[in-house]
Amino acid sequence: MVRFDRRRWLFAVPALACGALLGVRAVAQSPRVVQVRVRRFVFTPQVIQLKKGEPVVFELSTDDVFMGFSVPDLDIRSDIVPGKVSRLELPPPKAGTYEFLCDIFCGSGHESMQGKIVVT
């Protein structure tokens, strides 16, 4: 019985430790949600501040027309569908400035529809 308990402990302790570590990591990796509201021809916010290595999910929404959110230098993009919330994951970014734009032509003013993500 004593041996059985010791054996159980030998398995249980590392398992608990791993579980605790995974739990901590899971909390640490919970992505920050950044809401981006879009209307012709403006993103709000136009400047998005992020921390280096911080995983992020963008929630993109519009009540206007069909548009797009593209960050070419990070190789991510999403359609923005009127009346819906589009979720776009951003893997933990490196420090830098990344410009974003609407990549679906939406009218006169489309060309000025851009912003930037600043990662520090």
112 binds other proteins (CB under 8 A): yes
Whose Cβ is closer to other proteins: residue 43's or residue 100's? 100
CA angle 16, 32, 82 (to 5 degrees): 135
Least spacing, CB of residue 111 vs other proteins, in Å: 6
The smaller minimum CB distance to other proteins, of residues 86 and 114, is found at: 114
Instruction: Please state, in angstroms and as integers, the Cα–Cα distance from residue 114 to each residue in 31, 52, 81, 89, following that order.
Output: 24, 22, 17, 19
116: nearest Cα among 71, 86, 68, 62: 71
Per-residue binding string, other proteins, 31-70, x by CB under 8 A, is: -----------------------------------x-x-x
Catalytic-labelled residue, pool 43, 58, 69, 100 = 43
